[in-house]
Amino acid sequence: MEHRGVTLWFTGLSGAGKTTISAVVAQKLRDAGCKLEVLDGDVVRTNLTKGLGFSKEDRDTNVRRIGFVANLLTRNGVIVIVSAISPYRAIRDELKEQIGDFVEVFVNAPVEECERRDVKGLYKKARSGEIKNFTGISDPYEPPLTPEIECRTDLEELDESVEKVMSYIKEKGYIQ
């Protein structure tokens, strides 16, 4: 399939559905023959940004590094799917400006729903104080003000969220 480089940046709370939606989008794009890379926040933290903590400064560094790699790939015609909490609006806006071909996908679910889905028990640990600086509990999440796409995973089915993303990138000419 013919396509242009673009970064699809999935942001939202832990448990909102970023990885789930982005994995299906990635598979659809792979099946269509697109050049694609996936930068998942958890995977990046164990490789590219190992050693960083969860202070605001470390989170900003983590997101900027992901953005740097995404920018390199995007300008070389690759569709990049980033799935990372990326809690701070200013850094996301900075990356949007740098990358240009940047689609912000706000994966939105209330914190209560994210807690209900939490198979790792992270929210429970955060609420008990065992995990410090946990986004949505003891550290802020700044939702996008004008995301290109918003997926309300508490109100819509997975296929609806995936279709929003696929329709948008077709409409904008990123894929044929």
Which sequence positions are flagged as catalytic? 86
Residue with tokens 């939702």: 143
CA distance 21 to 23: 5
